Amino acid sequence: MPPELETPRLRLRMFTQDDLDIYHDRIYGDAGVMQRYDPGAEPKSKAYTQEMLDHFMEYWNEHPLGVWAVIEKASNEFIGYAGLLYFKGQPEVEVLYALGKAYWGKEYVGEAALASLRYGFETVGLERIYAIAFTENKASQRVMQKIGMQYEGITNRFYDMEFECYVMTREMFQASSQAR
């Protein structure tokens, strides 16, 4: 079982099947959310959301890391997801996140991403974690910069598509944590 993580305003917990409807409504079924995280993407079917939910739940059985459901503590509402995954067929790990529109601009995503980075470096013992975003997704790139990730450039090595790539090493994380 993955551990639950807590931040001042959020709880990151394992997904459950009970999350399906709200997960679909807030993320994959919302055209605005899909456009922000993947320009040109259309809303996905509920079956697609179920596949992602199952994938996130099963991932923890094979790896010491994965993706959590992000819950706003004040309301106990599901607001999105955040976590760590290995790039498909690669040894590198990425931090990933998506929040429902109502939760944009509140710095929740940075809080969830930092909790994920802390888990990756301090619990799993990773040396380096990447983050990628489409060039058009300036908001996600601002999050990466704000949490201290370093810009590495444009890459297509992870998904055969061009992405803006950011990285954080364990050493960078420890230095930034000590400054806080």
- For 69-114, the pLDDT digits (tens) are 999 999 999 999 999 999 988 999 999 999 999 999 999 999 999 9
Rounded distance, CA 92 to CA 102, Å? 31
Residue 40 lies in domain:
5-127
pLDDT of residue 178: 46
Query: Residue 114 in contact with residue 7, Cβ under 8 Å?
Result: yes
Residue at 150 is within a domain: no
Residue 30 inside a domain? The answer is yes
**How does pLDDT run across 131-159, given as a tens digit for each residue?**
999 999 999 999 999 999 999 999 998 88
Express each pLDDT in 31-51 by its tens digit: 999 988 887 789 999 999 999
What is the pLDDT averaged over residues 58-66? 96
> Looking at the domain assignment, is residue 48 inside a domain?
yes
In a domain, 43, yes or no: yes
Q: How many domains does the chain have?
A: 1
154 assigned to some structural domain: no
Residue pLDDT, tens place only, 2-24? 899 999 999 999 999 999 999 99
CATH label of the domain that carries residue 95? 3.40.630.30
The whole-number pLDDT of residue 177 equals: 64
User: Does residue 90 form part of some domain?
Assistant: yes
Residue-wise pLDDT for 158-171, tens only, equals 888 899 999 999 99
Q: β-pairing, 77-86 with 93-99?
A: antiparallel
The DSSP call for residue 38 is S
Strand partners, 147: none
Domain-located, residue 145: no
Q: Which amino acid is at 160?
A: D
> What per-residue confidence (pLDDT) applies to 157?
86
